[in-house]
Amino acid sequence: MQSLLGLDESELVQIVTGRGEPAYRARQIYGGIYQGRAETVEQIRGLPGSLHRGLGEEFEIGLPAIEREFRSADATVRYLLRLADGQTIETVWMPEPGRDTICLSTQAGCPVDCKFCFTALLGLARNLTAGEIVGQVLVAIRENRSAEERRLNIVMMGMGEPLLNLPAVIKATRLLTDPAGMALSPRRITLSTSGITSKIAELGCEPVRPKLAVSLNASTEETRERLMPITKKYKLAGLLAACRIYPLRPWEKLTFEYVLLGGVNDSDEDARRVARLLADLDCKVNLIAFNPGPGIDFRTPEPERVLAFQRILKRSFPCFIRRPRGRDIMAACGQLKRTS
C-alpha cells in the first residue's frame, strides 16, 4: 500500500480531488496525520465513511514499526525501527529537564566511512523518504506521550549524511515546521554534515531549513582525511570558505562538532589550530569525547584532556562539552549500527 506520511497538503489535494472530493478534505487528512497523530486512515477525524473506506483500500499512514527498543540507565531510549521494505534504522529519544531531543536517521546506513563511527561499518543501503524521516519523530513522540508538550529538539545526527539526501531532508523539515503540520520551530532542528561543500551552499538557499552543524574532527587536512576519507574530495579550505559565506539567520550561529580521539586529535596544539581555523566565523563548538565499542580502534581521552581542549577554544568562541547519552545501550554519538 502507498504511504500518506510524507505527503504535503498539495499532494493530498491531488489525491482527494481525484476521488471527486472537495480540496478541503486534504487539509483534514494533513492535520489528522501531523497534528492528530493518526496511525491509521480510520483514525483521521471528520472524513466521510466513503472516503475513509476508499483511502483505506489504497493507502496507509505508513509509520515505521518498532522492532526493538533499548533503555539506558540515563533514561535515553534507542529504537530499532523497521521500514516498509524491511530496512532497519535507529532513532534515539533523549529526555532532559525542560526539554527532549530526538536524534533522527536520514539514510539507512551511511556512505561517508568515518573511521571513528560504528554506522560507517554498515555502508549505505538507501536514502530515507521524507515520510520515513518524519515518521521517526511521530513514533518517538507516541512512545513518550508524557513529554509531548515539552520543548522538543530534533537533531539529524543519526544514521547517514543528511546533505546526501537533501531533497527528502528539506521536505521533512517543511512538514515538521509547518504551522498546519507539526509546528516545530526551525530553531530547534539541527542537521549535522561531514562537510559536503556544494550541498552546504544548496542548503543555504532553502527558505525553510535546519540549523547547520559541521563535523570538523581534526585541525589539519592530513588528519581529517585519515579520519574522514570523504574529505579527500571535500577539502578543509573549501569547507571553511563555504561556511564563511553561508547565510546565517539573525538568531543563528554555525556549530562545529569535534570528536576527541585520545592521542590523535586532542592535543593543545590541535586546539590552537582549531581556534585559528574558525577565528573569522560566527560559530560555537561542541566537543564530543569518543564513544567506544568493539571493532573501532580509538580510545576516549581522559576528562582532564577534554577540559584542557575546551579551555583553549573558549578563549575564542563558545565551546561546550556534549554529555554522552545512552552509551550503555550503544545509543551515543557515533554508536548507531542497527544493534539488535
Could you list the active site residues?
Answer: 90, 333
d(CA 327, CA 118): 13
* C-alpha cell read off for 183: 509546528
Cβ atoms of 291 and 300 closer than 8 Å: yes
**CB 105, CB 136: distance < 8 Å:** yes
What interhelical angle do 197-204 and 166-177 show, nearest 10? 30
From residue 183, alpha-carbon distances to 71, 94, 104, 143, 189 in Å are: 28, 20, 17, 19, 12
Find out whether 217 and 251 touch, Cβ atoms under 8 Å. Answer: no
**What is the DSSP code (8-state) at residue 2?**
E
**Rounded CA separation 340/329 (Å):** 11
State how far the Cα of 92 lies from the Cα of 102, in Å rounded to an integer.
6
Cell triple for residue 85? 521494505
Phi, psi values for residue 189, rounded to 5°: -125, 125
Q: Is 118 exposed, middle or buried (0-12, 13-18, 19+ CB in 10 A)?
A: buried
CA distances 268 to 46, 214, 246, 272, 298, Å, are 62, 21, 29, 6, 19
